[in-house]
Amino acid sequence: MPLINKLQRLYQNSKMAKKLTSRSENYSQWYNELVMEANLAENSAVRGSMVIKPYGYALWEKMQRVLDDKFKETGHENAYFPLFIPKSFFSKEASHVEGFAKECAVVTHYRLKSDGKGGVMVDPEAKLEEELIVRPTSETIIWDTYKNWIQSYRDLPLLINQWANVVRWEMRTRLFLRTSEFLWQEGHTAHATQIEAVKEAETILDVYADFAENYMGVPVLKGLKSPNERFAGAVETYCIEALMQDGKALQAGTSHFLGQNFAKAFDVKFLNKENQLEYVWATSWGVSTRLIGALIMAHSDDNGLVLPPKLAPIQVVIVPIYKKEEELKEISAQVEKITKELRKAGISVKYDDRDTFKPGFKFADWELKGVPVRLAIGPRDLQNGTVEVARRDTLEKEVLRIENIAEKVENLLNQIQKNIYQKALDFRENNTFTVDTWEDFKNQIEKGGFVLAHWDGSSETEQKIKDETKATIRLIPLNQDKEAGKCIYTGNPSQGRVVFAKAY
Amino acid sequence: MPLINKLQRLYQNSKMAKKLTSRSENYSQWYNELVMEANLAENSAVRGSMVIKPYGYALWEKMQRVLDDKFKETGHENAYFPLFIPKSFFSKEASHVEGFAKECAVVTHYRLKSDGKGGVMVDPEAKLEEELIVRPTSETIIWDTYKNWIQSYRDLPLLINQWANVVRWEMRTRLFLRTSEFLWQEGHTAHATQIEAVKEAETILDVYADFAENYMGVPVLKGLKSPNERFAGAVETYCIEALMQDGKALQAGTSHFLGQNFAKAFDVKFLNKENQLEYVWATSWGVSTRLIGALIMAHSDDNGLVLPPKLAPIQVVIVPIYKKEEELKEISAQVEKITKELRKAGISVKYDDRDTFKPGFKFADWELKGVPVRLAIGPRDLQNGTVEVARRDTLEKEVLRIENIAEKVENLLNQIQKNIYQKALDFRENNTFTVDTWEDFKNQIEKGGFVLAHWDGSSETEQKIKDETKATIRLIPLNQDKEAGKCIYTGNPSQGRVVFAKAY
């Protein structure tokens, strides 16, 4: 074998998708390998920070576009607030300081200088009078700003969102799920009445749930957090929770009714219609790149990613099957026609005509990357006017005639979108359990899934359950059935069941 | 007057656009007032950082969308790299460290703790082993990452862009033009050959120039920077330069050919087609929220912003003129029809039916905000089937019949787009001067404008000219006329004229 071919073979092997560890073998390793091998993200040279690679970022852009449109449809505008927050701001809201002024990146100096040895050192003379905190969330700086923007009821509601990076120092990180820096959106709204603010928090919860279910294909429960799990500074935290394939819960988005807490902390009052000064009512809400982690863990399998068609950066990949150059030429001409038709129908298509890789490699590669539909075309297909169509979710193949191919593919994409949602929903329903005794509770929590159980409503009980089982109350269902019962832990009376689970 | 009316009047006055300082009176004050009064941005509680308000951010989003599409059309993908860069990375590229490892925000700690007095303090035990720098630009962290992504010529070119915030500590800041934190995009590409990398840098320069001229309506000169003004670490810096109304130049975008400097600094080699290891060739390029400053200063007048229709967040505002409620109702019905037609033609429309403000106030308000076209409709217009159309650029008004109103408005928007570009171009041409003596040079630099003069090519001369006149070489024109001459400062021989100016 000539050297150049040998080198090429070596290179191909190095690029070759390693077979992933299976989910049953080691779920967490499967996840890490998948994120890396599918080119979504990787760890960076900065401990705890990730690099989001082009394919992962394309997924995030798709998510951003859908969410941003929904925010705008519901009357919100985007703005941008500073990355840095003066340290003293964090002390202004009593419970917020407890929750957020902890694992933060702190800027203490504003200049480097030469160390005289070819390197650089921090200039000790450039010390800041007041340290700056890299935002872990922006309530404080934003409410400090709103103070100047709000005087009258006519300035309300103020409905603002920001797309930004935030930093919360983490010691144990996992790509997308928990990193020191992550990307997110944070909405911060101001209202004249409590009712309006509560309604806003609920509207956004619906936007999040709609996005999770109808775009990500991930079914979610909607509910309220218990006081222990509430956002630091919130009166009430609404959340959506999804169940991952390993039986652990993942909080996919939160929307907070903040009452007048931040308005009081930053002295934001308005003149109401009755000409009286009143504190403003607030909400805040966010989802982050963590959603990508949820998406991966909800649908993917041992062959790789399974992406919902509505968010897949590439919806259809086309692979030519050929031996001779002339064959490729003829196939490519056919592919061009098909591609044109598909794009006209708004479908994103990639033609993989790389000559350095064999079809088998390409099939595995696009399976790993979760492209919903794969078309393969060979010389016989040209003769017969057909194309082989494979769907990623079920791995089923069929040979179709190329007439009306765009319509056929569109239908298939819709089917896949529905199917992966249904599969995830079936999984959740099969993994939701109702238990009434402490023994059953402990056993079930150990096995995984959502566990519906009675709880006496005390934070102390919740903490003890967590200490003993690692389970937390994921949510108190919004549409909780009123049902008298006894707390599984204390036996004290309870008005209804809440959802417990171990969580990410 | 009843109290509530009085309060309303007071509130209106507080919201009322203050008359701006005129440009001739104090250009710099005019600019600051305009940015604030037009609700584009304001200074924040964090020294040197700005808040980009919704109207300003909407403008940035429009710019982003156009640029992002252009980057993707030219084969680039987006990704995201960490905010923090290890301090040691800055020492790796010799000239880069000189240029960038200076006025930086330095993270030294990762935790706060209670100070026992209700506040928080930096936890001295949470000191980082190696300080982290908040990115002033990302060449170092990105080339450290590329090292793992590039092995073979098949991995090239690598064409990546990132939308991000960056921090360069500034003592004297101005909204949009110079702030410690700003938003930008930074492209970082890797290539197998020098020719290809140079071509990439030039392609991007063309993308930037096309954007500036055909979207922002700002004519730009294209050229190369002199060594003194070159990006730290670049072999060659391409730039576009615009002339502001006060006769000062503004660098609107740069594209750098980096040679193999960063590849060498981070040891990024690839196996070429001849099976030899070679260092990778690189480019980087960026534009920032500074473009908003350029946009404002190029077109706006003493009444406020003048926005180019292609980037205006609101292209058409409609103001109803009425006395009685029934009149408003009838006008609103008409406006609904017009709005529908305009939106169908892809025009963004706002109907300003606020009942708290008089038409005169609204006219001034939308003029201040630079909305390209204003329609006003009163009872007489309803009778006559007409509408009053005012254009922001010339402040001219005419009464038009409402038939085919969308087409008429569309034509008008195109005219405005062309007109503001032409106006800026005429201004630049009237303010570009050719001088041959040192006296003429000093005089002209003092008065402002682009000054074409001979220069002997030495950095020392350039520095002396800067010290004496504050003028810098803005660029060496890409299509420089070869013309023998003598340096205006030293009298030494020169091969052609370069462009001098005082600059932002």
Interface test with B, best of A14, A40, A71, A110 (most B CBs within 10 A): A110
DSSP-assigned states of every residue in B430-480:
HTEEE--SHHHHHHHHHH-SEEEEE--S-HHHHHHHHHHH--EEEEEETTP
Cα of first residue to Cα of last residue in chain B, in angstroms, is 50
- Residue A143 shares a structural domain with residue A46: yes
For residues B60 and B40, what is the distance between their CA atoms, to the nearest angstrom?
10
Among candidate residues A370, A365, A340, A343, the one with its CA nearest the CA of residue A352: A365
CATH number at residue A414: 3.40.50.800
Residue B124 lies in a domain: no
Asked if residue A31 and residue A150 are part of one domain, the reply reads no
Q: What is the DSSP string of A99-127?
A: HHSSS--EEEE--EEE-SSSSEEE-TT-E
pLDDT score, position A305: 98
Residue A243 within a domain: yes
Q: How much is the pLDDT for A1?
A: 46
Does B211 lie in the same domain as B150?
yes
Question: Residue B13 above 70 pLDDT?
Answer: no
Q: What CATH number is given to the structural domain containing B188?
A: 3.30.930.10
Interface contact B51-A80, CB threshold 8 A: yes
Contact A78 B54 (CB under 8 A): yes
E strand or H helix at A161, and its extent?
strand A158-167
Q: Which domain holds residue B401?
A: 316-416
Partners of A105 on chain B (C-beta within 8 Å) are: 84, 107, 109-110, 132
Element (H, E) at A422: helix A405-430
User: Which 8-state DSSP code applies to residue B301?
Assistant: B
pLDDT, one tens digit per residue, over B28-60 is: 999 999 999 999 999 999 989 999 999 999 999
**In-domain check, residue B115:** no
pLDDT of residue B8: 59
B289 with B369, same domain: the answer is no
pLDDT score at A96: 78
Q: Could you tell me if residue A129 is inside a domain?
A: no
- Answer whether residue A253 shows pLDDT above 80: yes
User: Do residues A399 and A465 both lie within one domain?
Assistant: no
For residue A12, pLDDT beyond 80? no
Per residue in B369-426, pLDDT tens?
Answer: 999 999 999 999 999 999 999 999 999 999 999 999 999 999 999 999 999 999 999 9
Asked if A77 lies within 8 A of B61 by C-beta distance, the reply is no
Last residue of a domain, one of B248, B270, B299: B299
Give per-residue pLDDT as tens, B58-70: 999 999 999 999 9
Shared domain for B227 and B346, answered yes or no, is no
Residue A379 falls inside a structural domain: yes
Q: Are residues B291 and B355 in the same domain?
A: no
A107 is a domain residue: no
Residue B482 is predicted with a pLDDT of: 86
H or E segment at A225?
none
Could you tell me the two tokens for B292?
Answer: 């908003």
What pLDDT digit, counting tens, does each position of B139-186 carry? 999 999 999 999 999 999 999 999 999 999 998 999 999 999 999 999
Least confident of A349-363, B12-26, B114-128: B12-26
**Backbone phi and psi for residue B133, each to the nearest 5 degrees, phi listed first:** -105, 135
B364 lies in the same domain as B233: no
> Which residue in A has a C-alpha nearest to residue B141's C-alpha?
A45
Q: Do residues B320 and B293 both lie within one domain?
A: no
Residue A368 lies in a domain: yes
Decide if the complex's ipTM is over 0.85: yes
Write down the pLDDT at residue B202: 98
Q: Are residues B438 and B472 in the same domain?
A: yes
Q: What percent of chain A has pLDDT over 90?
A: 90
Q: Which residues of A touch B49 (CB under 8 A)?
A: 82-84
Q: Which of B85, B100, B107 is the best residue to mutate to test the A interface, defined by the most A CB atoms within 10 Å of its own CB? A: B107
pLDDT tens for each residue of A373-387: 999 999 999 999 999
Under the banding of pLDDT at 50, 70 and 90, the label for residue A5 is low
Read off the pLDDT band of A13 (50, 70, 90): low
Q: Answer yes or no: is pLDDT of A16 > 60.
A: no
Cβ separation B111–A106 shorter than 8 A: yes
pLDDT of residue B17: 55
Give pLDDT, residue B3: 54
pTM of the predicted structure, to 2 decimals: 0.95
End of a domain among B390, B416, B442? B416
pLDDT of residue A114: 87
Residue A479: CATH number of its domain? 3.30.110.30
Tally the domains of chain B. 3
Both A329 and A275 in a single domain? Answer: no
CA distance A390 to A396: 6
Answer whether B205's CB lies under 8 Å from B223's CB.
Answer: no
- If you count DSSP H runs as helices and E runs as strands, how many of each does chain B have, helices first? 14, 27
Q: Does residue A106 belong to any structural domain of this protein?
A: no
Predicted local confidence at residue B1, as pLDDT = 45
What's the burial of B100, exposed, middle or buried (CB within 10 Å: 0-12/13-18/19+)? buried
pLDDT at A6: 59
- A100 band by pLDDT with thresholds 50, 70 and 90: confident
- Total residue length of chain A: 504
Nearest to A79 among B53, B103, B160 (CB): B53
Whether residue B349 sits in one domain with residue B270: no
User: Which chain A residue is nearest to residue B10, measuring alpha carbons?
Assistant: A152
What is the mean pLDDT of the segment spanning A12-29?
Answer: 81
